[in-house]
Chain A
């Protein structure tokens, strides 16, 4: 008993070191979304292209189709890196909607005009208020919405092949299966 008391510090140290070792590889800045499992919060954004249909959460939630909502900005370099992947996914039939976050609409339009536009519709959020509703912490950020309009997953950072294959792709398949059932 007495010895156990004297060995306790060693045990605590080993636990602490274990925690540190597990914590080493991870990114302390990566945050879970408070929205996962919640219905898509309400927002209604003007279309980035004047004359196009606006982007409203109510409409996005209604059509029964699982989809991606991608938050991007023309000033964001990582968004450029993931753009090709988005275009490829759109070509494969993945429905992607865009939110041009904290950006001059003109700059956002120019950004999309220079590249092909992977988005079914793009809302302009120059004040970033829709982003706040979504709990956006930076660009790019992508949300997966199921057929009932519930946020099921969030990915912060650019989407690349690996992220798609291991994280977002399988989830989209699952949501599509749920929507069919």
Chain B
């Protein structure tokens, strides 16, 4: 029964989405509070029905209802409970249902909130979100029904891909989807603004929290995915430039640009059409990402059910939604008020430059991902674009960009002086310069040019962290030294911005260390034998077969000794008999200075193939990314932000640079 109710709930949700779009549009036109309320109620009820459907699908997974085809093909009775639940979204249909659930959730939140927004505009936003919900619910119901039954029901299901049976599956897809789908709100705001032909600071004020929320979730989702791939795939890499990773990076880069341009729009009323365009593109790129993974157009290490028919549906969906929005943009944007002017040395300029670099970076990833497809279609030639390309193009673009980051927040709006800005950043500049010289002197002798690269990277990291904190110090300093009152009254959004930028610095340190100092060894060890990596002695203590809940594992225990301090580590290769798949569970010994990573391979003649990696500071990459996301969350928690207050303050506080 559950599956039928779930299916029916989705059909009701589709009808409610139609009502949401219809009432919303009418409510906007007639400014009729009753119609507007009807649109809001439809949105909230729609979310309720989608949640019901999702809950029922989860329940079917929980109780092994193998008569539901999706359960039968992604769940085995021996699969642990948590992974049975997470299997709900570890497949195409279920993940699309999750996508729709998040879309409805955002839609309901927009409908329920927005009390400070102009009612007509709010209604229009709700209507656009309703249109999106119609499209995705129709996609779900017509091409990917998660509740299809199987008759006769099999006695046993086939297992979820063991690579996915990992805590990563529990959090990574939901966070990623909250990010992807969260940008739908910005998309709806942009489309509604184009329909109205009116964008102002208030618009930016309303939309920024939604952008920020989506961006924080996307940042966390990508970070988690990176860490998951690191320990699960067993190659010891944190980013592979795989098309599916790029599909998540593209909306992140655009979303980051959007976050900054919306700030300019909010504070200064400039970059109007640009911000609208970014809002449309960011969500569109999220949809392209979804399409990419499920259409089979590009090859990726990510295993997803590939179905060209669904691909066509998603293509049509993008054509209508993005195409419609961009057509509106082409029609309306030229007539919209162009923004306020600003001088070349100003906060606005810095943020525009930020957008420029992020767009160029987006272009790198976009071309790298899609250009091979274009060449193939036009000439029939197959080319590959992989890490060696991105490393050569993306890094040179990022270094000058990141070097400019600390200047941005130090600049005044409208107009500023180079010299004044430089003097505000004197201390961090000096510090970074010293780090550069010291690190270069220390590492050039040993590592040559690579050492210089490392020195540059570490100096950049110090510059980003110190430059960001310099802002706080500047803010806190009064005539009588550091003022506790000024510390206390520092807005959360300022803290958030400082954390966001400093977190990037922490990431840069980790990335630099990984790129220059990571080492690896491949050895064959019998129990009792040892090998060394980066001054650490690694001894294989024992190797044997252990039994897990739904797998058997070849488990190897290692002893790592460094400076007399011993540490043990377990590395496994698992065989899942239900599907015949094997996975690698790399052993990881982490500390603040880095990770010793051990993956085991095949056994030959009593010796185990052992892959040893030493990854200095690699953890800083993920910790840095978490700090970035935390910064976003801090800014989101800022009360001024949540109030949805239009950004027109009476008296500008000129003295404060923040």
Contact = CB atoms under 8 A, between A and B. Distances in A.
Interface of A: 2-3, 6-7, 9-10, 13-14, 16-17, 19-26, 28-29, 31-32
Contacts of B322: 13
A9 B281 contact: yes
B373 A9 contact: no
Contacts of A7: 330
Contact of B291 (A9, A20, A28): A20
Contact of B308 (A9, A19, A24, A31): A24
Contacts of B323: 10, 13-14, 17
A24 B292 CA distance: 10
B333 A31 contact: no
B381 A28 contact: no
Nearest to B326: A10
Q: Among B298, B311, B319, B330, which residue has the most Cβ atoms of chain A within 10 A?
A: B330
B327 interface: yes
A24 B318 contact: no
9 contacts: A6-B333, A6-B334, A9-B281, A14-B323, A17-B318, A21-B312, A23-B376, A31-B382, A32-B382
B281 A19 contact: no
Given A9-B277, A13-B323, A20-B315, A28 B330 contact: no
Q: Give the residue among A19, A20, A23, A25 with the most B Cβ atoms within 10 A.
A: A20
B295 A20 contact: yes
B370 interface: yes
A3 B335 CA distance: 9
Given A3-B334, A24-B295, A28-B298, A17 B381 contact: no
Contacts of A29: 299
Contacts of A28: 296-299, 373
B329 A10 contact: yes
A29 B299 CA distance: 7
B15 interface: no
B370 A17 contact: no
B373 A23 contact: yes
B654 interface: no
Given A10-B323, A29-B299, A24 B311 contact: yes
A10 B377 contact: no
B545 interface: no
B322 to A, nearest CB: 6
B232 to A, nearest CB: 23
Nearest to B373: A23
Contact of B326 (A9, A20, A23, A25): A9
B299 A23 contact: no
A2 B334 CA distance: 7
Contact of A6 (B311, B319, B329, B376): B329
Interface string B413-436: 000000000000000000000000
A14 to B, nearest CB: 7
B378 to A, nearest CB: 9
Contacts of B544: none
B549 interface: no
Given A19-B370, A20-B315, A3 B330 contact: yes
Q: Is the interface of B mostly helix, strand, loop or mixed?
A: helix
B377 A22 contact: yes
Contacts of B318: 13, 17
A16 to B, nearest CB: 7
B273 interface: yes
Contacts of A6: 273, 329-330, 333-334
Nearest to A16: B370
A28 B243 CA distance: 13
A32 B297 CA distance: 17
Which one of A14, A19, A29 has the greatest number of beta carbons of chain B within 10 Å?
Answer: A19
B374 interface: yes
B481 interface: no
A19 B295 CA distance: 13
B380 interface: yes
Nearest to A12: B326
Contact of A20 (B297, B380, B381): B297
Contacts of A9: 277, 280-281, 326, 329-330
Contacts of A25: 308
B315 A17 contact: yes
Contacts of B284: 13
A28 B315 CA distance: 18
Given A3-B334, A19-B370, A20-B297, 20 more contacts: A3-B330, A6-B273, A6-B333, A9-B326, A9-B330, A10-B329, A10-B330, A16-B370, A19-B373, A23-B376, A23-B377, A24-B296, A24-B297, A25-B308, A28-B296, A28-B297, A28-B299, A29-B299, A31-B382, A32-B380
A2 B331 CA distance: 11
Interface in B56-94: none
A31 B376 CA distance: 10
Contact of A23 (B281, B297, B330, B381): B297
Nearest to A14: B323
Nearest to B328: A10
Contacts of A3: 330, 334
Nearest to A8: B330
B334 A24 contact: no
A138 B277 CA distance: 46
A31 B288 CA distance: 25
Nearest to B318: A17
A17 B333 CA distance: 23
A107 to B, nearest CB: 21
B165 to A, nearest CB: 26
Nearest to B330: A7
Among all A-B residue pairs, the 5 with the closest Cβ atoms: A7-B330, A10-B326, A23-B297, A24-B308, A28-B299
Contact of A32 (B295, B308, B327, B381): B381
Nearest to B299: A28
B532 to A, nearest CB: 33
Nearest to B371: A19
A19 B330 contact: no
Nearest to B323: A13
Contacts of A24: 295-297, 308, 311-312, 315
Contacts of B373: 19-20, 23, 28
